[in-house]
Chains A and B, each alone.
Chain A
């Protein structure tokens, strides 16, 4: 009720946890504006090196505590799969915890946790990310474990079959037994139908039951290459030592030739054009006693000026108790919704802008829909103001600074910038972009992308 900066609907599937999407607007923005427009300068001292096989390494020394965090970004995710092998990136992420041949089966987790560390991973449409945090003296063994599994992954039949069951269980938990999960899965499938983003990252049930160990092995060989990865190390380490160690462990791994062409070819076979019949009304059978909805619009890929303006727009309209939609539908005298949010989900090559919420009891869905559509159109004039813009910029700043309190937070902050923008320093530019966007620009993107009839309404409840 009182927590602002709500965690928005987002799903990253992984070994053990659910994470907030990094490229959701509440997390991925940065700003130098405050309530009195002060300039805030954040400078992270990053040292970088790229090995001859294309592996990029970023290091931030932080000697506050004798620990470090180790992130490995592989630039492969659900979008590189095809019908028949959906879910392979994620299944492979699970199999990576079986480790490599040098250390053997069931050793990876034992060495990480047995040395006082923790580890996990997640898979998105664009990426697969592995991360660990450990006491600093174990950096070398961690690098060796990572190098081992990339070179000699144990993808044995028995453990593969068991992990298949585990992933099916994960799917039931996240999506099949949750209205929220069903709604999200359907939205991604329908909004991006016919494009690489329309394939399910967790995988369809038939694909998960039939994808073979050999198919996943081929996928691994194709994409798990040093020239498709970025390693980020933050903590009590010396950058030069890190570069030497990584070079020693990974330098001999051959780059995959023609990788960029393979990726390009795969993407071009489908393309990113939105479906022509985008305007849809979809009803799902769920368990919720009142309708839960998502109203989705065609969005933009991460990085364009308009995409940044859409970030600001969605935050102004749907982030926090004082946001425009919240005041209209949740806090209003005649409230109609239990909750509402807006999100601009920018992916690497496309995006979706969506508004979601849940109706209160005794609220008629049809009447509500009419009101929602009319308020959305009105919001481009009434919901955007200089104060609302300033408020959002302040919220972005707190959110970003809070994340810099830990090694993991810093690693993820610069790692995300590196893989999405090709520049770990992009947060500095991002700040000035957000600051330079005017109210008129936000209004323009509102009219262009939100005040349109080209949208998709998906509802779920127990009466459908």
Chain B
């Protein structure tokens, strides 16, 4: 099979606005909806299986069950060992893996079109026949345990991990999708087989494809080898309402640190979520901490030289969301950095200069277009829009929506998302910093990182 990439011949008319009209196809296989972005530019394909259930329904004490269920698909089947599965899929150059959120899960595969059939047959066989052999599970548990304990060597990752627990505490989703050493150790081979059976039979699925026409051969494989049953049910477990308040700074000491990780953020309750203001939240996070012109980077890095990087985020799923700020600084400037962030949020909650607002508007619109460039990323956007029941046309209405914002509304959203009194604040670093934080008037509660592993 020969493919010639003549990039210069790609039509100038397939710009974002009519891209979907030209390339999107919808089908139904065994009652499962299929969303297919036809793309003949490369001899590769992307497949993403969407499952409408995630880690929120992991049983108490067995957190991490869904993620381990997907990861363990390759542990072995009645026909193939772990090694045989890995050997086969890697031989075809396939890249594969799962992503589990609290609300939904995906399993994605990427490979060469010419090897689609053997690759996808193996993937479907894994879903149909995974046995989670005890010996493989035991080895995995040992690796998971070592992996958790080694997190202390990556301060940023450890801070994110603990911050998740603390900022979501009380919401019902504070447990990470990965679980903990304790919860993983409680999961048995039987638990995983049962969980997989539940996903195969009782969880709603959708299939997302990117690739040329020839990948239609996937239909038969899905129908005959995956043998999934479609379900109309979606997960009923939802995150709880959480009260938002700022109390003490949570301080997590780690040995030998000469730099402290700072995390500030909050949980977004379901009552605050709507299509109407979803983009406004990300627009606000971008204004505060997205890119070199953002307020945080300008203040903390360019003006003060306090950090190398500072960022903000605000993202939502169907029933909950999170917003926050993330940065780091040397031990000597932790208090200064915290004070600067507080000041910056306060200033920008009061009002925003028109030129900065306009810069953020232009920047957001252009970068949204850039984010749709990769067809694989575009496919992921469609998957997420379907998950939250949002129409695709909203993708193309982004620019108009951003044009409708005002600097007053932006300032209001800065206050809403980042108001200090509603944030959880976590600092991970050298223990001696507790003293300087207290001296500066902050209340501090010390916690041991080992309790979060």
Contact = CB atoms under 8 A, between A and B. Distances in A.
Contacts of B114: 34-36, 38
B373 to A, nearest CB: 5
Nearest to A170: B308
B115 A34 contact: yes
Interface string B1-29: 11111111011101110000000000000
Contact of B254 (A42, A67, A167, A287): A287
A406 to B, nearest CB: 5
Given A41-B3, A172-B259, A394 B93 contact: yes
A401 to B, nearest CB: 5
Contact of B71 (A1, A62, A97): A1
Contact of B302 (A106, A170, A338, A397): A106
A322 interface: yes
B293 A113 contact: yes
B8 A61 contact: yes
A113 B359 contact: yes
Contact of B43 (A40, A44, A396): A40
Interface stretch (B145-153, B168-176, B343-351, B387-395): B145-153
Contact of A116 (B4, B10, B154, B366): B366
A53 to B, nearest CB: 28
A394 B152 contact: no
Contacts of B142: 335, 360-361
A290 B146 contact: yes
B366 A135 contact: yes
Contact of A177 (B150, B259, B306): B259
Interface stretch (A72-80, A193-201, A325-333, A367-375): A325-333
Given A60-B7, A320-B90, A113 B139 contact: no
A357 B300 CA distance: 36
Interface in A8-45: 15-16, 34-36, 38-45
Nearest to A172: B259
B305 interface: yes
B177 to A, nearest CB: 13
A168 B333 CA distance: 13
Contacts of B369: 65-67, 116, 135
B101 interface: no
Given A177-B155, A320-B86, A327-B83, A110 B366 contact: no
Interface residues of A, number: 96
Max chain A C-beta neighbours (<10 A), residue from B140, B153, B359: B153
Interface string B53-73: 000000000000000001101
Contacts of B280: none
Interface string A145-189: 000000000000001011111111110110011111000000000
B291 interface: yes
A162 B304 contact: yes
B92 interface: yes
A124 interface: no
Contacts of A180: 153-154
Contacts of B86: 4, 320-322, 331
B4 A41 contact: yes
A138 to B, nearest CB: 9
A117 to B, nearest CB: 6
A302 B381 CA distance: 38
Contact of A236 (B12, B90, B304): B12
A407 to B, nearest CB: 7
B44 A116 contact: no
A251 B11 CA distance: 32
Contacts of B259: 169, 172-173, 176-177
B441 interface: no
A25 to B, nearest CB: 14
A413 to B, nearest CB: 11
A271 interface: no
Nearest to A338: B146
Max chain A C-beta neighbours (<10 A), residue from B83, B302, B372, B374: B302
B165 interface: no
A3 B70 CA distance: 12
B108 to A, nearest CB: 10
B115 A394 contact: yes
B366 A117 contact: yes
Nearest to A461: B153
B111 interface: yes
Contact of A322 (B42, B83, B367): B83
A126 to B, nearest CB: 23
Contacts of B147: 338
Contact of B135 (A119, A164, A333): A333
A287 B256 contact: yes
A67 to B, nearest CB: 6
User: 9 nearest interchain CB pairs?
Assistant: A116-B366, A394-B93, A165-B305, A162-B305, A321-B86, A398-B93, A170-B308, A179-B153, A322-B86
5 contacts: A97-B292, A331-B82, A391-B91, A397-B112, A406-B373
